[in-house]
């Protein structure tokens, strides 16, 4: 492996160590906030548009198998609230280094979209999405402690109305884990696939063994929906006993013939649209209307 390829000094330094192992080329490193130096947990790390991704652990550390990557591929680090970092696989230097990510400021236009003074609530509430679980399921057993950045989502139809989001709920059919930490995301649609996130900060929710419905109150986030979106869930971390098989299954939502499932297998992977029945997942919302004069 060549070690004479060095990143230009103007680029952020990437923390990694290459080691040759029987299973392939392993990338190890850590991610931190560029300003405070504090480790960043649960950063999405992966090869762009390929199923080769992970997330950072609580201490910012990560480990990624790059044996299937090409020198021309791009390695991406991303997290809501921070500027993404991109690196050419062929330009990565060997040795223990440090990834630093800068906090991302939001423009006035972006803030206005999320906390709009242009709309006022009408008092009319609704539930958007799949509210009734069926007995058919999607899930897995024998999973590890940390997720890989994979997401499952459904399309939420707004029918041209404006809504303020109050909470998000989804349904477990079977769960033998002690507890699970989820990340929830909301994406604009770009064509027929999820695109830019509508969130300005990460949304996490933790649930426990025996919880059927998992919910996240988001009214204080002041998120307004005025177009169709994709809402996804991602397993970030699992806690479980070694005596169990770590089973986790989700209920498909009734009425699935009218909808699709959006999925990507790991961080930075391509989104796919499947004909699989969508999850039982819905939003509690309040309908809004334009304020007179936009005030």
Average pLDDT over residues 1-20: 40
Between CA 100 and CA 83 the distance in angstroms is 10
Residue with tokens 């299973």: 23
pLDDT at 143: 74
12-21, 46-55, 132-141, 243-252: lowest mean pLDDT where? 12-21
The pLDDT assigned to 202 comes to: 96
Average pLDDT over residues 20-48: 85
Per domain, the residue ranges of the chain are 17-101, 109-294
Rounded Cα distance, 231 and 105, in Å: 23
The CA distance from 73 to 275, in Å, is 29
Coil/strand/helix, residue 221? helix
Instruction: Name the band, by pLDDT with cuts 50, 70 and 90, for residue 21.
Output: very low
Place of tokens 């009218």: 258
Q: Residue 258's pLDDT is what?
A: 58
Averaged pLDDT of the chain: 84
What is the reported pTM? 0.85
Q: Measure CA 190 to chain center.
A: 17
- CATH code for 109-294? 2.60.120
**Tens-digit pLDDT profile for residues 238-294:** 998 877 777 788 888 876 555 788 999 999 999 999 877 788 999 999 999 987 765
User: Dihedral sign, CA of 208, 137, 275, 52?
Assistant: positive
The mean per-residue pLDDT over the stretch 64-68 comes to 91
Q: Where are the beta strands (DSSP E) in 4-91?
A: 17-21, 24-33, 44-47, 53-55, 61-65, 74-78, 85-88
Please report which confidence band the pLDDT of residue 95 belongs to, taking 50, 70 and 90 as the band edges: low
Question: What's the rounded Cα separation, in Å, for the pair 142 and 205?
Answer: 22
For residue 238, which of 229, 230, 247 has the smallest C-alpha distance?
Answer: 247
Q: Does domain 17-101 have CATH number 3.40.190.10?
A: no
């Amino acid at each position: 492996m060549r070690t004479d390829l060095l990143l230009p000094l103007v680029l952020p330094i990437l923390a990694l160590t290459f080691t040759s192992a029987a299973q392939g080329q392993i990338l190890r490193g850590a991610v931190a906030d560029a300003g405070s130096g504090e480790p960043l947990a649960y950063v999405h790390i992966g090869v762009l548009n390929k199923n080769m991704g992970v997330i950072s652990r609580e201490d910012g550390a990560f480990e990624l198998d790059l044996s299937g990557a090409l020198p021309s591929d791009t390695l991406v680090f991303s997290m809501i609230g921070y500027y993404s970092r991109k690196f050419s696989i062929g330009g990565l230097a060997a040795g223990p280094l440090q990834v630093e990510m800068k906090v991302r400021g939001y423009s006035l236009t972006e803030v206005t979209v999320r906390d709009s003074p242009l709309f006022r609530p009408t008092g009319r509430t609704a539930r958007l999405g799949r509210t009734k679980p069926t007995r058919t399921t999607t899930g897995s057993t024998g999973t590890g402690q940390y997720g890989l950045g994979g997401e499952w989502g459904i399309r939420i139809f707004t029918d041209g109305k404006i809504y303020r989001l109050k909470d998000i709920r989804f349904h477990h059919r079977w769960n033998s884990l002690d507890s699970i930490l989820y990340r929830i995301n909301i994406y604009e649609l770009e064509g027929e696939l999820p695109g830019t996130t509508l969130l300005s900060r990460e949304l996490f929710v933790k649930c426990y063994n025996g919880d059927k419905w998992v919910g996240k109150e988001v009214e204080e986030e002041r998120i307004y929906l005025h177009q169709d979106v994709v809402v996804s869930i991602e397993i970030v971390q699992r806690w479980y006993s070694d005596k169990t098989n770590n089973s986790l299954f989700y209920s498909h939502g009734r009425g699935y013939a009218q909808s699709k499932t959006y999925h990507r297998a790991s961080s930075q992977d391509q989104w796919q649209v499947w004909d699989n029945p969508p999850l039982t997942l819905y939003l509690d919302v309040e309908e809004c209307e334009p304020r007179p004069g936009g005030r």
